[in-house]
Structure 1
Amino acid sequence: MKILALDTTSGACSVALYSDGQTTERFVQAERDYTRRLLPMVDEVLADVGLTLKELDAFAVSRGPGSFTGLRIAISCVQGLAFSVDRPVVPVSSLAALALGARRAHPEWKDAPIVSMLDARMQQVYWGVYSVDSPNCSQLPEAVQNPEKVVMSLKETEWSRPIYGAGPGWHYEALSGAQVNGVDLDIMIHARDIAQLAVPLWQEGTAVIAEELEPAYLRNEVTWQKRQKIRSK
């Protein structure tokens, strides 16, 4: 199985190829120039393993939530690549990928639930909770909320084991009231984790054709306003 994954969700640009259990990745921490960086990184990753686009089984990309612009860049790029070689795309949660990256960086967290969090601006965060047993499915519905509501939701939930936090969204002071055993704000989304999460989703048949790929913004009203501004230009 060969899956090429791309991500420009939040603060970084990365491309990774999962090929029969082995993963090759290019990762650059950058806030801009995603469009200029992505395709050369795709070429580099494919060259590393001696493959072409036609030899891939599928593509994978973060479906969100995350930066409006970042999501659109990666999704548009994947759509173009997938369409050119008639391959499907596996959409993966950016929050789930963040949690998997945290688990990879912190083996001492073992099988503990991880609360992934991205800054949604406007004093809100995108968040979800992921277990080692179901890494693609949040134990609480993925949501965009203010930090106080997140703290309340975590307190109202009975956890059978310690929980940890990961991601830059944890910087809000109000989240200090959350009952977590540790937080890593520096965890970023990697395409290698998107690729790994895409494997079981591909096996379950959740891939879509390029034209049907849609981002999950969570904050629909803000997305609609941005779309209206773009259309009016």
Structure 2
Amino acid sequence: MKLLAIETATEGCSAALWCEGEILHREQEAPRAHGRLILPMMQAVLDEAGVDLGAVDALAFGRGPGAFTGLRMACAVIQGVAFARDLPVVPVSTLASLAQRALDQAPELPVMAALDARMGEVYWAMYGADVEGLAMLGSLPEQVSAPDQLADQSGQAYQAIGRGWQTYGAVLAASMGQEPQNLAANLLPRAHEVARLAVRDFAQGLGVSADEAMPVYLRDQVVKTR
């Protein structure tokens, strides 16, 4: 199995290649340089593995939530390659890939992943680990809300990750009902974890065609329901 993944939904820009169980990865935090960096990063991981794009079995991208421009870029890049090479695509939650970084350190604790959504809001969700230790959506699905409007999780130990915690840590903890046991407020989602989750999802038949590979804009969905 060879799967090429990208993640550009936040300040970070990254590409990763899953190649028979090994992951090759490039990443850089460069908020305004994603368009310049992402294609060379994709080529770099292919070159390191000695793999031609024609040998790739599937593509994956961080489908959001996240910055509108970054999500549109990731979707456009992946759709372009998928159409050209007739490859299936696996859209992966940006929050799930972020949560995976915490679960790799403490899989026994659920994760509250949060990203700064601007305008006084956060993108957030709760995740647990499946039998393979990979992130699966928990009881609180992906949402966008003010940081003081989370569901109270008093009595439940949890860990926290993401720059939503860097911006609104005290408010988020108060809204959750208690402080997280572990906190990694400076981390961003990466293609490394997108690739890992995509391989699992692809094996479960969750790949889609290029024209079905769409970003997820939680804020747009919320606006439409009000």
TM over 0.5, shorter chain: yes
2:162 corresponding residue in structure 1: 167
Q: Give the count of matched residue pairs.
A: 216
Q: What CA distance in whole angstroms lies between the structure 2 residues aligned with 1:184 and 1:191?
A: 18
* Kept after mapping to 2: 8 A contact 1:96/1:138: no
Give structure 1 stretches of 5+ with no counterpart: 225-233
* Whole-Å separation in 2 of the counterparts to 1:138 and 1:120: 21
2:107, 2:214 → 1: CA distance?
A: 33
Distance 1:130 1:76, change over 3 A: same
Q: Secondary structure at the match of 1:116?
A: strand
Question: Which amino acid is the alignment partner of residue 163 of structure 1?
Answer: Y
1:118 matched residue in structure 2: 115
| 1:13-24 matches, cutoff 5 A | 13-24=13-24
Q: Which secondary structure does the structure 2 equivalent of 1:198 belong to?
A: helix
SS in 2 for 1:147: coil
Q: Find the aligned partners of 2:49 and 2:137 in 1 and give their Cα distance.
A: 31
Q: What is the alpha-carbon distance in structure 1 between the residues aligned to residue 58 and residue 163 of structure 2?
A: 30
Name the structure where helix makes up a greater proportion of residues: 1
Secondary structure of 1:127's counterpart equals strand
Which ranges of structure 2 fall in alignment gaps of 5 or more residues?
A: none
The AA in structure 1 aligned to 2:62 is: S
Distance in 1 separating the partners of 2:21 and 2:223: 37
Partner of 2:146: 146
Distance 1:223 1:37 in 2: 32
The answer (yes or no) to whether the contact 1:116–1:166 under 8 Å persists in 2 is yes
For residues 126 and 216 of structure 1, the distance between their equivalents in structure 2, rounded to whole angstroms, comes to 11
State the one-letter code of the partner of 1:174: V
Q: Percent identity?
A: 40
With structure 1 as the length reference, what TM-score do the two structures score?
Answer: 0.88
Q: 1:155 aligns to what SS in structure 2?
A: coil
| Cα RMSD after superposing both structures | 1.7
- Mapped to 2, the partners of 1:222 and 1:142 lie a distance apart of 11
CA shift for structure 1 position 139: 2.7
Distance 1:49 1:215, change over 3 A: same
**Separation of aligned partners in 2, 1:23 and 1:163:** 28
1:81-92 counterparts in 2 under 5 A? Answer: 81-92=81-92
User: 2:153 matched to 1:155?
Assistant: yes
Is 1:127 the counterpart of 2:124? The answer is yes
Please state whether the residue corresponding to 1:148 is helix, strand or coil: coil
